[in-house]
Amino acid sequence: MKPTADLCDEYGEAIKVITGPFISYGKTTACCGEVVTLDVEDDNSLVRTTLEEKGQGRVLVIAGKGSTRCALVGGNLGALASENGWAGIVVDGCVRDTNELSTNPMGIYARGTCPRRSHKQGRGNRDISVEISNVTISPGMHLWADVDGVVVADQSIAL
């Protein structure tokens, strides 16, 4: 995988930077793959049902509206994602169980942490265009994440 900085240098405006900060919580500090999107707020019901599917090397982007009220991903969901072959998870919000996540062999990025679990009310939407940091992210786009940042593009330009 090319570093995000190199992708930005090589492809210019074709690469969209999702401004952070995003902190790496997984054991793997870089990941890339085709995007699956969720639009949720303080409810991770859809996160679990999505991660129960075979990931096939995709990256789950959770548009959690930057909420710091609760965590949308924790140790159990991280383990589920890894077991099912997801390449990574990017959370516009918080995670918890960071000691567990740090042993998980995949890329996991979030804005921060919160020890409180999320609500379980089944609210949210999947596979729709979402906006994070003024960047529209649609299902099927490709995402790269590393310790320098998170970027997306319409096509797989450097997988």
Give domain 22-135's CATH superfamily: Ribonuclease E inhibitor RraA/RraA-like (3.50.30.40)
Count of CB atoms situated within 10 Å of the CB of 37: 22
Model's pTM, two decimal places? 0.96
Q: Ramachandran region of residue 150, left (φ > 0), alpha (ψ -120 to 50) or beta?
A: beta
Sequential pLDDT tens for the chain (159 residues): 899 999 999 999 999 999 999 999 999 999 999 999 999 999 999 999 999 999 999 999 999 999 999 999 999 999 999 999 999 999 999 999 999 999 999 999 999 999 999 988 889 999 999 999 999 999 999 999 999 999 999 976 755
For 85, what's the count of Cα atoms within 13 Å in the CB-facing half-sphere? Answer: 6
Distance CA 52, CA 93 (A): 20
Return the domain boundaries, the chain: 22-135
Contact 63, 51 (CB under 8 A): no
